[in-house]
Structure 1
Amino acid sequence: MGKRKEERELHETFDLYGADVEILREWDLPVEKVRQVRGVLKIYTTAGVRMLKKVNVSHARLRFIHESLEHLYASGLTAVPRFIRTKYGDPFIVHPTGLYYLTNWLPGKEADLKKTKNLFLAAETLARFHNASAGFAGGGFGHETREDFSAQWGKYRAKLGSYDQHLADRRDHTAMDRVYTEHRHELVKMIDHACEQLNESPYGAVLEWAREHKTICHGSFSRQNLIVDKERMGIVDFDHCHFGHPVQDLGALLSRYMPRNGWDAEIGFAILDVYRGVREITKEEMTVLAAYLSFPSRTLQVVESYFERTRDWDVDRFTSRLRKSLALDRGRETFVQDLIDRYGLQMEAPSFAPQLDDVGSYDLEDEESSSAESARRDGWEEQEADESGPIAVQVEDPQSHVTLARFEEDDEQLEERSQRITQAAHVRQNRPKSKRPAEPQPRRRPSHGGPWTPGRS
């Protein structure tokens, strides 16, 4: 009776996940129990804990991910989840319900980046990742780069025009509509300034360096994908890794976690110093980073979520969130100015964010998205992106989906300034039958034996 119950629970878990339990035969996994953790299955076996993930990408894309991880591991970055090959030697499985891959489950806990100790460790880990990524000769995947910031930013400029048209066609305007309308011109100035500074920066030379050195970006370097085990930090979820320049990951890290620190320059410089202790940042790269941080990603994310209905918030919540985000833009612009001054960058600092008072305390909740939680529409999936929503966004290339970085927000008190700097200094010191990939075609072996049960291969 116990085994029947275990088997029923196993099948229920796989059904809820949208997977076929029979794929476990491909690895001969002696399963003890399974539970879903976000977008993956955590499988307890007699040989250890494993992670099974279903992805909806092309074969070529998944091969790119697999080869990237192998390159990182061979380059010394061992705290990454390598694909476990099937009993037939294939790195992943092609199945009518999707593509699946299996890895070891990295021990540890999700990184709490509210703690500056972990934030600095994340910066060090990111630098080590970028060092290890250089020279990746594999891949062959079509979408090799996603670092064209100016093209993405220009599409967001076009999105604002669609939002304006939507408001013009509506009679009654909400409080959120009014706040957006009031500060829309400042948003446009911030976008245009960032594009101008990026175009005047050595962006082209920086990208050319990245192409020559074959560096990889993680693409989703956020707390959900960072695992801390004692003093060691591992990286998981490489589903969005791609060829690109390290400044993209570094800029996203600062954009995600500096707002909760009020864009404190000391914290920001400590993060950069920790990163630079492992991988130096050239003046050209620092200039591109400053241009990247000039773009109002956080605020545009709120605006996009409201008009395209990607978040189920009421109007008051959207209104409050937009005002707080605009207020944080002033701190962001001040940090960019400090960055320019400290490193002697030849560029113009942004100064367009409005001065807003009485926006409330910093109580922004966690808004980061992880591909472990939900599928991200980034053009790498085989199915078409979901175009639902009340706003028909008009851009030159309707197939391009612009995704801003998602940010962590919380309402806990910030750590004491002295503790932050001390920690910074410390870190600086120290169901149908499964198929295998189409290229190359693997040999097919028949499955033998009776019905599969937990604990039996």
Structure 2
Amino acid sequence: MAKRKEEKELLDVFDSYGADPDVLREWDLEVEKVRQVRGVLRIKTAVGTRALKKVNVAEGRVRFVQQVIDHLANKGFHDAPRFIRTKYGDPYVVHSTGIYYLTDWRPGKEADLKKTKNIFLAAETMAKLHNAGIGFAGGGFGQETREDFSAQWGKFRAKLSSYDANLEELREQTGMDDSYRQHREELVKMIDHASEQLARSPYPQIIEWARENRTICHGSFSRQNLIVEKERMAVVDFDHCHFGHPLHDLGALLTRYMPRFKWEASIGFSILDVYRAVREISAEEMTVLAAYLSFPKRTLEVVEAYFERKRDWDAERFSSRFRKQLALDEGREMFVQDLIARYGLNLSAPSFAPHLEGLESYDDLEAMESSSVESRADGWEAPEAHAVDLSESASIHEREESSEVRLASHEKGLEERRTDSRSVLPDAAPRIKPRRKQKPGPWRPGR
């Protein structure tokens, strides 16, 4: 009876995840325990713990991801779990319920990026990934570039007009409506300024460099996908990886996590210094990065979520979050001002964000981040609720700075940064595995 109960519980987990446990036979896995953790199944087997993921995308996209991870490993970046081939040699399984791939389960916990040691480790790991990502010779899906900042910013600018029309509808006005009206012009000035600075920057040149060198970005370098064990960080979930300039990842990291440090310049400069110690940032790249950070992305995301109903929040919560983000925009602009001054960049410093007082609490900044299923943690039991320690000192050990900080020219050393492009040949398409009721072969407790 106990065995039947155990089997039912396992099958219930697979059913809830939308997976067919029969695919496990492709790897001859004997399953002991299964648990869903975020978007994957954590599977304990006789030969170790594995992560099984099901995706519903084009097969070419999955092949692209697998080839990117293999390329990184071949270039010396071993902190991304590789696809485990089936007993037939296939890198993944095409099944009637989706495409499945299997990797090792990386032990550790999700990176708490409120801790300075973890944000610095994330910057170092990202730089290593970017170095290894140069020269990827794969093709097919993933060749699209997502670093077209100007197009993205133009869409946000256009959306504001549609939101204005929304305010004219006959409906009860909320506090968020009032806050938006009050600060709309400041948002417009921030958007237009960032767009102007990007247009003045060597943006086309660095994008051309990225295309010539076929550089890879992770595309979702966030705390959910960074696993820390002791002093080492692993990067998981490459489902959004793509060809693009490394600034796409670096700019997103700063935009997402510097607000937690209220854009304190010493921390931001240390993040950049840690990254630069592994992968140099050219003068041209730093100029584009400063223009990128001039854009009020996080604030506009709150506005977008409100008017497009992307969050199930009441108007009061939206208004509070909007005003907090505006207050943080002031710190962001001050950081960009310091960045321009420190590196002598040929840009105009932004200064359009309003000065808002009485918004000391920023504890809900994680609310806009995705959270599929639950936090990742070691152990098979559901993690107990625990208070987040916000008392950790944000002290850092900065390098002694000279009065002038120099950046390498983008052209200087370009040949040294180029690497040989070893071909990554596409694998033969895996055989399609239809849904089956039963088949001989191990997966426990099935027979």
TM-score, normalization: structure 1? Answer: 0.85
- Other structure's SS at 2:278 match: coil
- 1:368 shift after superposition: 5.2
**Structure 1 residues 415 and 439: alpha-carbon distance in aligned structure 2, compared to 1, 3 A threshold:** closer
- Other structure's SS at 2:219 match: coil
1:196 equivalent in structure 2: 196
2:83 equivalent in structure 1: 83
- Aligned to 1:421, which of 382, 396, 400? 396
* Distance (Å, rounded) in 1 between the aligned partners of 2:163 and 2:324: 20
- 1:411 shift after superposition: 8.0
Q: Percent of aligned positions with the same letter in both sequences?
A: 65
**Structure 1 residues 373 and 140: alpha-carbon distance in aligned structure 2, compared to 1, 3 A threshold:** farther
- Other structure's SS at 1:367 match: helix
**Structure 1 residues 442 and 108: alpha-carbon distance in aligned structure 2, compared to 1, 3 A threshold:** closer
Does structure 2 retain, via aligned residues, the 8 Å contact 1:216–1:245?
Answer: yes
**Structure 1 residues 243 and 320: alpha-carbon distance in aligned structure 2, compared to 1, 3 A threshold:** same
Does structure 1 retain, via aligned residues, the 8 Å contact 2:175–2:315?
Answer: yes
* Distance (Å, rounded) in 1 between the aligned partners of 2:337 and 2:236: 34
Does structure 2 retain, via aligned residues, the 8 Å contact 1:84–1:101?
Answer: yes
- One-letter amino acid of the counterpart of residue 135, structure 2: G
Does structure 2 retain, via aligned residues, the 8 Å contact 1:217–1:246?
Answer: yes
**Structure 1 residues 365 and 269: alpha-carbon distance in aligned structure 2, compared to 1, 3 A threshold:** closer
Does structure 2 retain, via aligned residues, the 8 Å contact 1:150–1:198?
Answer: yes
1:435 equivalent in structure 2: none
Matched, 1:239 2:200: no
Does structure 1 retain, via aligned residues, the 8 Å contact 2:64–2:142?
Answer: no
1:407 equivalent in structure 2: none
- 1:93 shift after superposition: 1.5
Matched, 1:222 2:243: no
* Distance (Å, rounded) in 1 between the aligned partners of 2:7 and 2:443: 6
- 1:369 shift after superposition: 3.4
1:366 equivalent in structure 2: 366
- 1:176 shift after superposition: 0.3
- One-letter amino acid of the counterpart of residue 110, structure 1: E
- Other structure's SS at 2:194 match: helix
1:64 equivalent in structure 2: 64
Does structure 2 retain, via aligned residues, the 8 Å contact 1:35–1:41?
Answer: yes
Does structure 1 retain, via aligned residues, the 8 Å contact 2:91–2:430?
Answer: no
- 1:443 shift after superposition: 5.3
1:11 equivalent in structure 2: 11
TM-score, normalization: structure 2? Answer: 0.86
Flag as ranges the 4+ runs of structure 1 deviating above 6 A. 444-448
* Distance (Å, rounded) in 2 between the aligned partners of 1:133 and 1:451: 38
* Distance (Å, rounded) in 1 between the aligned partners of 2:102 and 2:89: 13
* Distance (Å, rounded) in 2 between the aligned partners of 1:444 and 1:182: 57
Q: Greater shift after overlay, 93-102 or 39-48?
A: 93-102
* Distance (Å, rounded) in 1 between the aligned partners of 2:390 and 2:172: 38
1:49-448 equivalent positions in 2, closer than 5 A: 49-141=49-141, 143-367=143-367, 369-370=369-370, 413=390, 415-417=392-394, 420-422=395-397, 440-442=428-430
* Distance (Å, rounded) in 2 between the aligned partners of 1:75 and 1:371: 31
- Other structure's SS at 2:101 match: strand
**Structure 1 residues 257 and 346: alpha-carbon distance in aligned structure 2, compared to 1, 3 A threshold:** same
Q: Per-residue displacement from partner, 1:241-290 (whole Å, max 9, x unpaired)?
A: 10000111111111111111111110000000000000000000000100
- Other structure's SS at 2:179 match: helix
Structure 2 gaps of 5+ residues are 375-386, 401-425
- 1:30 shift after superposition: 0.7
Q: Per-residue displacement from partner, 1:277-333 (whole Å, max 9, x unpaired)?
A: 000000000001001100101101111111111111111111111001001000000
